[in-house]
Amino acid sequence: MSIKTTGREAGRGLISLFLPLCLSALSLLLAACGVSGDRFRLEGKFKNLNQGEFYIYSLEQGRKDTIAVRDGRFVYDIELADTVTYLLMFPNFSEIPIFARPGALVKIDGDVSHLKETTVTGTDENKAMTAFRLDTSELMPPEVKERARLFIADHPQSVVSLFLLRRYFIQGLETDYKEAFDLCGTLLEAQPANIALIQLHKQLETLQSLKAKGKLPHFSATDSEGRKVGNSQLDGKVNVVLTWASWSFESQNIMRQLKKVEKKNPKELKVLSICLDASTAEGLFTLKRDSIDWPNVCDGKLWQSAIVKQLALTYVPDNIVVDKDGNILARSLKGTELKEKVESLLKQ
């Protein structure tokens, strides 16, 4: 039996057939033109690199992801509810900050042979940070620090200023907590509702008093094995409290160095580590891999962890060295400085 079809009905049939395809094509076109309001997209292009992997981790969330590079390009697309600062780590351990916010598309263009010249565009914050990096790439550390001070004074409302404060005035080789506290106050005046700044300001205020009083504050926590830990566990001749994370290779290297010293001095050196990972499982995997069995606190609360606040620890890696009476002997030592300081104290 044959069915006759009018021209109008045939037209409707064609429309019903092709409309879904048209809508799908339109959706793809719109997606290519921008990013939805609840997502952040990072696109990268690197010369002289065919395949490889980068790590990207967030300072606020304690989250680490792996980015695969194919034919010199990569894409990192993630749901995002708030502004986040990422660090993109290259195989040579150099890092580039990425300022992400919902709905933003950020692009990276570089050459693996000249990573210092890498540009990050797409938002005002990333453009400003790129300009700062390029302008200071050939300067000496004191000159870079002075440029950072000027940037903070001129742009107290910028998220870039908070990053520069942490990088050059808190994590620097010589930390002046009074200066860092004052600069943080400048940022807080411009960003009074910024929770991260409020917390950092309180920590820096505590650090100033700690330096004057010279005593480790009272603290209490539960370690990864469910055991209660506190000041009483730090009863060695030399004791170290340190922060670390699975996304910070520097902090893991510091722990491995300390582990060697602890094996030689099991009774005289006591260590308590605090993991700033969002995932407790990943932190435990790292400890097991490196055969580290000293008490470790990893509650997944990141910078909101009570012990972090009590001890005014401000970044990863950070550390405090105390004697058996809780007197602070050193703080925030960099790289191999911590190992050398501990070994020196053990010989006294």
* pLDDT band, very low/low/confident/very high, at 13 (cuts 50, 70, 90): very low
| Residue 21 confidence (pLDDT) | 43
| Residue 54 confidence (pLDDT) | 87
Out of 5-19, 37-51, 226-240, 242-256, which region has the weakest mean confidence (pLDDT)?
5-19
Closest by CA position to 289, among listed 335, 241, 250, 256: 256
Residues 222-246: tens digit of each pLDDT: 998 899 999 999 999 999 999 998 8
Average pLDDT, the chain: 85
| Residue 116 confidence (pLDDT) | 87
- Give me the mean pLDDT over the 236-259 stretch: 92
Rg of the chain on CA atoms, in Å: 25
Residues 292-347: tens digit of each pLDDT: 999 999 888 877 788 988 888 888 899 999 999 999 999 888 878 999 999 999 99
**pTM (2 decimals)?**
0.72
Closest by CA position to 100, among listed 55, 162, 151, 58: 58
Residues 92-136: tens digit of each pLDDT: 778 899 999 999 999 999 998 888 899 999 999 999 999 999 999
Residue 8 predicted with pLDDT over 80:
no
Cis ω for the linkage preceding 317 (within 30 of 0): yes
Q: Which residues contact 294 (CB under 8 A, 6 or more apart)?
A: 262, 270, 271, 272, 273
Residue 11 predicted with pLDDT over 80:
no
